[in-house]
Structure 1
Amino acid sequence: MSTVEDFQPQNWQASSTEALKISLIPAAEGAGALQFSPTFTYPIFGDEEQIYGFRDLVIHLVFDSVTFKPFLNVKYSATAGDDVDAQRDVIDKITPFLPEGDFIQRDEAAWVDAFMKERETFDINALGAERVDEYKGAADGATYGVYRAPLGQLAAADAAAQATNPGAQSPLVRFWKRIQILTLLFIEAATYISLEDEPEWELYLTFNEADRTLVGLCTAYKYWDYRDAGAFDSSEAPAYRKKISQFLVLPPYQGQGHGSALYNAIYRGWFRDSTVTELTVEEPNEAFDDMRDRNDLEMLERAGFFAEVPAEPAHSGDRLLVSDEWAEQMRHKYKLEQRQFSRLLEMALLHLGREPYFAVQVKRRICIKNRDALAELADAEQRAKAVSDSFELVKSDYLRILAGCTFAKGK
């Protein structure tokens, strides 16, 4: 029998972000599933992130935490009418983002059997990845390994092999296609990377070495460094910039230092590579920027950069503590992109107590960056106030970032 509530549209509308429940089945026998909600679902369910026509809708997307074999199940208590179709309105929207032919729907027993069988032979090293770093977890003391794999090259090899063997797929590419949906659900504006168009894609993965649980991932790629065309044309050695594209620590493992460990492992590897000239990041969010700033500052302090910053200008009367040439030399030494190094230099000046020079450095950058906007202000007093206000905001933010740093040698 229908009730008044049955005719109220809001009772049949659900947030897709709230309805979708992501779960990880731990490697340890008997351990409870780790369940969490996505941050974004608009790539799958549209900009409004709403699903209409169901009551008590729950979309279960479950992964084995070792093999990441996906399982999908949709549950609801009622539909708004015969024109509502769970297959069309929910399942058919999410399945295109899952690995074709490599997920199980509804049959939980079949899924458990499948991933348990895969676990028996699952080997991180057999994925085609090499371990490039390891560290002890700050929260649990466990050993974690950071692995790098030539994702684009493996995908290209698969494509070539499929000409004679249509089902050919490397273990690493299969694993990536299982986990890539997480980038859409937790990284704003993320899209699936096109492996076919770019063979230079690399994949970094962080695993718990004891139970083989995946903790974090990062995609990256390299491209030619064309900054000096003459030097580029005459150089026999290749020169590349490398760019971090997608970076994610899975939600159950966030806040435990894994993001910093993964970022530092990537930086150290690229820093040691003589063909890499610069580390860049593609559209970082605020949380990544903060993590990156803290780790870059701590790295510079350990490397002795703070000790290289002079106490006084090279020439008496100079308003800038360091010249642009000196800053550029240091930037290249540490393989950091220009905007990032400029900010790090400013934070170093603030931390080292070079406040008068810090103020000049920051205000100069503000004026250059906002030259056109400042020129539109009526008089010098307004321009000075605008610069001063911006400076105070920058200083406050720098102090916040510095407060989260751990420096070995202090000032």
Structure 2
Amino acid sequence: MSYFWKTPQFLMVFWLNAMEKKLAEYKCDTNEAIKLKLVRFPEDLEDDSTTFNPEYTHQVFGDDEVAFGYKGLQIQLYYTAGNLTTLFRFQYSSKVTDQFDCVEADDVAGKIREIIPPVFCTNIDDFVSSLEKEANFKPFGILLHTYSVHNEEAGEDITYQIYKADMTCPGFREYHERLQTFLMWFIETASFIDVDDERWDYFLIFEKYNKDGATLFAIVGYMTVYNYYVYPDKTRPRVSQMLILPPFQGEGHGAQLLEAVHKFYISVPSVLDITAEDPSDNYIKLRDFVLVKLCQDLPSFSQDKLLQGFSQEMITETQQKLKINKQHSRRVYEILRLRATNMSDVDQSRTYRLEIKRRLISPYKKNQREIVKMRRCLRPEELTNQMNQMDLQMQHEELEKSYQQLVSDYRRIIDRLAQA
């Protein structure tokens, strides 16, 4: 019979396991602990429906997105809806150092202070007082576009405005410091930009609303664009980061913003074309919708010409009139060609499928060329190993999967166009 359970080693293991279990109670999910809010009225402070949480906190709290050392941790980051005056408070029911001497709680306040501007409120009364100054806040820069969205709950149309700003606008530098903190919570690979670089452009959306008879503005979202130099005398604006804040998502503001920005650069003679930096899947779908909307009435995309295939005329017209590059023009063509194709017709469907697959198959053809080369220089056992990695059946399955996914994405854009 074993007597290990009576040994000092067993007692130590038991104690460590008990301690680990106890300390686990002091781990908090920072995505849940952080409470964000855009405040218009004092009563918003107690209204849970106006609170939202971040999607990401790893850039502040590490890959596990956990704060250690607290029970019942709540981090409040509240902003006035227009000027973004900030309230920062954090509270908890108990702290690990109150009961344990061998561990130390994370410096939650210090981590938050690293990303928010140094001037903020810690007192609710001071924050509520700052709401009185919201009537004095006005958007920065020049007005590019005004549009309305019908609000079912309010039973009325809400007006929104898009502005272009830069660091020469008085007060905008400090405002941008407050605004950019949202990037850390909602863009997975976000980073703060060098605002001293004059090649940055900033585009902001604001909602207009009324309070006590006065017209006020609330931030909805924004975009940063960097203007790259293209020899000899052109620029290539590249969308860097774009964010529509959670209370306004799903209302079409992203499309309005991207279209307004695109139209602004179309009017600038020095712009060659407009691109994006490492675009997400959601951004690509948004860009597809906006570009197709802009291109669908161009002569080169008429029904007859679409059925004749992708052409140089389409490339030239989209570049000259809309500052769209060849790659994006091709994607617009594929979407509009799908809309013009009767997919229940066997011949039309087959023609469309083969054309799309010819484009998608390029990487696979490259693999085939590599196989031919390997036959000449590899020993039989090496060639077998490489061939296994390039299984043709697998390539065909992947090609079909890519095609079906693309058509599914294209259909959603076509459906959205029909509703626009």
How far has the Cα of 1:339 moved from its partner?
3.0
Q: Deviations over 1:235-255 (max 9, x none)?
A: xxx311111111111101111
2:414 aligned to 394, 402, 411, which one? Answer: 402
Q: SS of 2:206's equivalent?
A: strand
TM-score by length of 1: 0.80
The CA deviation at 1:218 is 0.8
Tell me the alpha carbon deviations over residues 95-148 of structure 1, each in whole angstroms, 9 at most, x when there is no partner: 011112x2122x1112222x2353242222xx3x11011101243512211000
Range with greater deviation from structure 2 (54-63 or 33-42): 33-42
Cα distance 1:200–1:183, how it changes in 2: closer, same or farther (>3 A)?
same
Instruction: Kindly state the Cα deviation for residue 78 of structure 1 after the two structures are TM-superposed.
Output: 0.5
Q: Does residue 1:204 correspond to 2:222, yes or no?
A: no
Aligned to 1:215: 220
Q: Evaluate the alpha carbon distance shift between residue 67 and residue 361 of structure 1 in structure 2; reply closer, same or farther with a 3 A threshold.
A: same
1:256 is paired with a residue whose SS is coil
Partner of 2:376: none
Does 1:254 pair with 2:249?
yes
Q: Deviations over 1:156-192 (max 9, x none)?
A: xxxxxxxxxxxxxx31111111111101110110001
Q: Distance in 2 between matches of 1:56 and 1:29?
A: 25
- What is aligned with 1:103? 120
Give distance in 1, aligned partners of 2:391 and 2:281. 34
* 1:371 aligned onto 2:388: no
2:313 is the counterpart of 1:326: yes
Kept in 2, the 8 Å contact 1:144–1:206? The answer is yes
Question: Following the alignment from structure 2 to structure 1, what is the Cα–Cα distance between the partners of residues 393 and 76?
Answer: 59
Q: Go from structure 1 to structure 2 and tell me whether the alpha carbon gap of 1:337 and 1:9 turns closer, same or farther (over 3 Å shift).
A: farther
Determine the C-alpha separation between the residues in 1 that align with 2:58 and 2:408. Answer: 34
Question: How many angstroms apart in 2 are the aligned matches of 1:75 and 1:246?
Answer: 32
The reply on whether 1:292 has 2:287 as its aligned counterpart is yes
Superposition deviation, residue 295 in structure 1: 2.1
CA distance in 1, matches of 2:391, 2:111: 57
Residue matched to 1:157:
none
Cα-to-partner distance string for 1:53-109 (whole Å, 9 max, x where unaligned) = 1010000111011110111101101011256767x6100011011112x2122x111
- Alignment-mate amino acid for residue 368 of structure 1: S
Match of 1:20 in 2: 34
AA at the equivalent of 1:332: Q
Per-residue displacement from partner, 1:304-324 (whole Å, max 9, x unpaired)? 5531761654xxxxxxx234x
Deviates more, 1:394-403 or 1:40-49: 394-403
Corresponding residue for 1:76? 92
- Cross-structure match for 2:186: 186
The change in CA–CA distance for 1:362 and 1:103 in structure 2 (over 3 A counts) is same
CA–CA distance in 2 between the matches of 1:322 and 1:56? 59
- State percent identity of aligned pairs: 24
Look up the match of 1:121: 136
* Deviation of 1:365 (Å): 1.4
Q: Secondary structure at the match of 2:332?
A: helix
Give the direction of change, closer, same or farther, for the CA distance of 1:192–1:132 in structure 2 (3 Å limit).
same
The 2-side partners of 1:295 and 1:90 are apart by 41
**Conserved 8 A contact 1:12-1:55:** yes
Q: Give the TM-score normalised by the residue count of structure 2.
A: 0.78
CA distance in 1, matches of 2:69, 2:244: 34
In structure 2, the residue matched to 1:275 is 270
Which residue number corresponds to residue 361 of structure 1? 355
Matched, 1:349 2:337: yes
Contact (CA 8 Å) 1:150, 1:202: kept in 2 or not? yes
Question: More displaced, 4-13 or 344-353?
Answer: 4-13
Going from structure 1 to structure 2, the CA distance change for 1:381 and 1:91 (only over 3 Å counts) comes to closer
Kindly provide the amino acid, as one letter, of the partner of residue 123 in structure 1.
Answer: K
- Write the mapping of 1:139-178 to structure 2, written as runs, cut at 5 A: 139=151, 140-151=156-167, 153=168, 170-178=170-178
* SS of residue in 1 equivalent to 2:217: coil
Aligned residues: 362
What secondary structure does 2:409 align onto?
Answer: helix
SS class of match (1:8)? helix
Evaluate the alpha carbon distance shift between residue 309 and residue 275 of structure 1 in structure 2; reply closer, same or farther with a 3 A threshold. farther
Cα RMSD between the aligned structures? 2.7
SS across alignment from 1:268: helix
Residues 1:249 and 1:393: Cα distance change in structure 2 (over 3 Å)? closer
- The separation in 2 between residues aligned to 1:382 and 1:182, in whole angstroms, is 42
CA distance 1:5–1:150, change in 2 (3 Å): same
Determine which structure has more spread, i.e. the larger CA radius of gyration.
2
Could you tell me how far apart the structure 1 residues matched to 2:394 and 2:57 are?
44
Specify every segment of 5 or more residues in structure 2 that has no aligned partner in the other structure, as ranges.
1-17, 210-215, 342-347, 372-386
Higher relative contact order, chain-length normalized (CA < 8 Å, sep 6+)? 1
